[in-house]
Chains A and B, each alone.
Chain A
Amino acid sequence: MAKPFHELRERLLRAGFAPRHVRRYLTELTDHLADLRAEQERAGRSRADAESAALIRLGGMDDLAKAMIEQRQFQSWCVRAPWAMFGLAPLFLLTGAYVVACSILWSGWKFFLPGANTPFVPLDGFAILYFGVGRLLYYFAPILIGWGIGLIAARQRFKVIWPVVGLVLIASIGGTAQVHASRPAVPGGVGHISMDLALGSSVQDISYSLIHALAILSLTVLPYLIWRLQKAYSLSA
């Protein structure tokens, strides 16, 4: 990207414009600037004069930014509905991941452990891999979704409040989600998997839930914080 457009990019991203629209605008401006420069050089100007004349013809940064900012339809959904992007969407994604993880647990129990009263028993062979996929999803879905929130917030130069709300929500759910498995006492009864959100009843359970939630929050918030610090450093440098 041409150097003159760094400031414009930051202004548009901070104004809430979707990165893909900003990228396209800047790509076309860069091409246009190259055409103008070539036109000026053909007219006999030196490279430096051609560059400054081309920039004047292209328009000032304020005009270029204002022209785009007037097109409100290109603002991203993160700006138009932050509660949906940082609250509802992660919630639905995490729910979906947990449903898939529970389905894997339930189907694995049915196929690999038909006689067992619980799926939480030592495993061997292919069952380790099968149940492992569900376990990975259960433990890593909150972290992956949290990284997604951080990435979106960073790409769109979002203020800290909404991403933090989303990250705390995901960490709270991830830390307190508990899976239960039960089988009715009747012969041939089908096993049942359920999930709830609870801190636990004993001090040990509560401590575990809180540590789990804090671990998720730390892992997800860390990359976002590092990015913000880097950005602040590069702006002050």
Chain B
Amino acid sequence: MAARETNPNFMNGVSELLILRLLQQEEMYGYEIVQAIRSRTDAVIAVGEGVVYPVLHGLERDGALRSRRKTVNRRSRIYYSVTRVGSHRLDDLSQAWTNLAAAIQKILTGGQHGEAIP
């Protein structure tokens, strides 16, 4: 059975963060990226797999990713890897996401009202 898709409203910016993080470790092509997201999040994060490509193209256009065509097993693939700009973007996104997650966690676990969010 197909996994239930994650609510897209909660996914704004997350796909960029996950893609940059995965590609920082090694270059991958689209299918590999999606499978890596599925397996490393235990399929908690599952979106229509094809929607990853506009995100990849957008990141490439912004200079955060670079792509190259590579033939593997007689099939031509477009592999993506992170640039220096992409690494900086990943740092910013990671920081913002960590702060947000900590703030939400604080509320969920009954943190004090009015405490400043770092």
A interface residues, Cβ below 8 angstroms from B: 21, 24-25, 28-29, 31-32, 35-36, 53, 56-60, 63-64, 67-68, 70-71, 73-74
Q: Helix, strand, loop or mixed for chain B's interface?
A: helix
Cα–Cα, bound, A59→B55 (Å) = 15
In the complex formed, the residue of A with least CB distance to B78 is: A28
**Contact B58–A71 (Cβ < 8 Å):** yes
22 A-B residue pairings within 8 Å (CB atoms): A25-B57, A28-B30, A28-B78, A31-B29, A32-B30, A32-B53, A36-B31, A53-B2, A57-B49, A58-B48, A58-B50, A59-B51, A60-B48, A63-B48, A67-B55, A71-B54, A71-B58, A73-B61, A74-B54, A74-B57, A74-B58, A74-B61
Bin chain B's interface residue count.
10 to 19
Residues in B whose Cβ lies below 8 Å from that of A28: 30, 53, 78
Residue B47 lies at the interface, judged by CB distance under 8 Å to chain A: yes
In the complex formed, the residue of A with least CB distance to B62 is: A73
**Contact A57–B53 (Cβ < 8 Å):** no
The 8 A CB mask of B79-117 against A (1 = contact, 0 = none) is: 000000000000000000000000000000000000000
**Contact A31–B77 (Cβ < 8 Å):** yes
Cα–Cα, bound, A58→B50 (Å) = 5
Residue B75 lies at the interface, judged by CB distance under 8 Å to chain A: yes
The 8 A CB mask of B26-56 against A (1 = contact, 0 = none) is: 0001110010000000000001111101110
Cα–Cα, bound, A60→B53 (Å) = 14
